[in-house]
Amino acid sequence: MPKFSVRFLFGALSLVAFSALALSISVSAYADGGTCTNGTPVSGASLKVDGAIENPASGTYTATVCRWPAGQTQVYTFYISTRSSGSNATDIGSAALGKVFTTSFDMAAGDQPVSAEVYGDVSDYSVDRQKVTITAKAVGMTQVNGGPDPSTTCALPGTLPGVCATSVAKLSGGVRYTAASGTPRPEDALIGMYVGATANYYRVDLQGCPGISYSSPPGAAAAQASSPTLLVSMNGPHFQADGATLNTGSLEAFMPNALLANCVGGDAEAAKAGLSVTRTESGATTPVAGSAFTATAEADGLRITVPRVGFSSPTYRMAFKASSKPSKPVVSWSSSKSAKSVTASVSAVTGVTYSVGAKSGKLAKSGSCKTNKKTKKTDCAIKLAKGSWLVSVTPKKSGISGTANSKTFRF
């Protein structure tokens, strides 16, 4: 059976009954034919399958997007179904396995996309102002459906036994949102993070990050770690439907640079160097060997993958050592040749201040940095003269300077 990879784009989603913000989307969460039985339908969602636009009126697959404005979380849920699925709307069929689905939709004005969880093999999650785009493959999994049946052996631990459903192909998820405040907030660093888990249920807690209160469901009481820690608790059938074959899944977490800078105080390389992973089940905690997971420092963040997860109820703890040096700032550069000026738009990190300066031979100039309330970034501006200048934006936290982001401009 193909493994089911869930990638969670941060915002604190609880993946069980959707009333508690479930990402193990239940049948009751959506009606057949793309109708929201919970939340408000969002019009204008588009769907591509293997790069080709799917006709919303006659295509094989449809995308349903619903906005949940209240309750334990604020979230836009999306769900891929087949037009002929009938009562089996949560299973899009084995023909969908391996296909690439790209879903795009616009959030309402004032809604700030923060994170997303997806039951599927995600390859891309992007946010462009109000537009959200998620690209993922449908995947197969063993899951528990139906009412109590003591004769089955693949029931979730700690719950009533259920009816096993094998070869279930699913692609669904949710994108959390908050009300935009117009000023930088620590939780803005969560944009672009996702965690994946092959499970009937999972929950995520992020602890030890300055200014960020992240739990699943939101507001859930949890002992706070003193250092940056990501916890993913998973739950799934111990066996597949035959009662003998072990059920396995996978876990993947991606933490973007802005989040690492806020939580760890360093970049992906620094976070990777200070990472340790443990697994806890039935009260016993064991280290996860380096051969059993991978951590990859990418250009835009750190990816952590546990390719094989056994069930029933493991909790993976990914702990980081805080870095004393602030990370290299993420900067969007612009310049004006006529004005001989440079502007650097910096993705601000809580607790970090920024300065801008430039050098041309023995000449040196300094500029100023201030918060842009509209973009929630820090804008640094500097006025220069004719010549070639190396302009640098330098971060500082608790009196310690980090690596500068520099670029050469010629006027």
Residue 1: inside a domain: no
What's the length of the chain?
411
Other CB atoms within a 10 A radius of the CB of residue 161 amount to: 17
Domain shared by 346 and 315, yes or no = no
Residues 335 and 316 grouped into a single domain: no
Q: Kindly report the pTM of this predicted structure.
A: 0.71
The count of domains in the chain is: 2
Q: Which of 161, 98, 145, 142 is closest to 249 using CA atoms? A: 142
Measured between alpha carbons, how far is 270 from 189 in angstroms, rounded to an integer?
17
pLDDT per position in the chain (411 positions), as tens?
333 333 333 333 323 223 233 333 333 333 234 577 778 888 888 999 999 999 877 889 988 899 988 755 688 988 888 877 643 456 788 889 889 999 999 999 888 888 877 777 778 888 888 899 999 888 777 766 544 445 555 555 544 445 555 557 778 888 888 876 556 667 778 888 887 777 777 788 888 888 887 776 554 445 566 789 999 888 877 877 677 788 888 888 889 888 898 888 878 888 998 999 999 998 899 999 999 999 999 988 999 999 999 888 899 999 998 877 788 888 999 999 999 999 999 988 777 899 999 999 999 999 999 998 888 889 999 999 999 999 999 999 878 888 899 999 999
Q: Are residues 46 and 190 in the same domain?
A: yes
Could you report how far apart the first and last alpha carbons of the chain are, in Å?
61
Whether 343 and 205 share a structural domain:
no
Do the domain assignments include residue 182? yes
Give the E-state strand segments of 269-314 in sequence order.
275-281, 284-287, 294-298, 301-310
* Domain identity same for 234 and 281: yes
Spatial CA neighbour of 193 closest among 8, 6, 318: 8
Sign of CA dihedral 266, 197, 21, 203: negative
Buried b (16+ CB within 10 A) or exposed e, 285-296: eeebeeeebebe
pLDDT at 155: 53
Judge whether 325 lies within some domain. Answer: no
- Please report whether residue 397 resides in a domain: yes
Does one domain contain both 315 and 339? no
State residue 133's pLDDT score.
Answer: 93
**Residue after which a domain boundary falls, among 320, 346, 380:** 320
3-state secondary structure of 153: coil
Decide which of 276, 295, 320 is a domain's last residue: 320
Regarding whether 245 and 194 lie in a shared domain, the answer is: yes
Gap between the Cα atoms of 354 and 401, Å rounded: 9
Distance (Å, rounded) from C-alpha 277 to C-alpha 230?
10
Instruction: Name the nearest CA neighbour of 348 among 386, 396, 408, 308.
Output: 396
Residue 372 sits in which domain range?
331-410
In a domain, 137, yes or no: yes
Q: Which two tokens stand for residue 237?
A: 């059938």
What is the Cα–Cα distance from 285 to 314, expressed in whole angstroms? 10
In a domain, 385, yes or no: yes
Edge-to-edge strand ranges of the sheet holding 194-197? 194-197, 248-256, 301-310, 294-298
Do 339 and 232 reside in the same domain of the chain? no
287, 389: one domain: no
Residue of 110, 278, 132 whose CA lies nearest to 191: 132
Q: Are residues 292 and 390 in the same domain?
A: no
pLDDT, position 88 = 42
Where is the domain boundary, 289, 320, 351? 320
- Is-contact 34 146, C-beta < 8 A? no
Predicted pLDDT at 145: 57
The pair of three-digit structure tokens given for residue 320, joined into one six-digit string: 């980081």
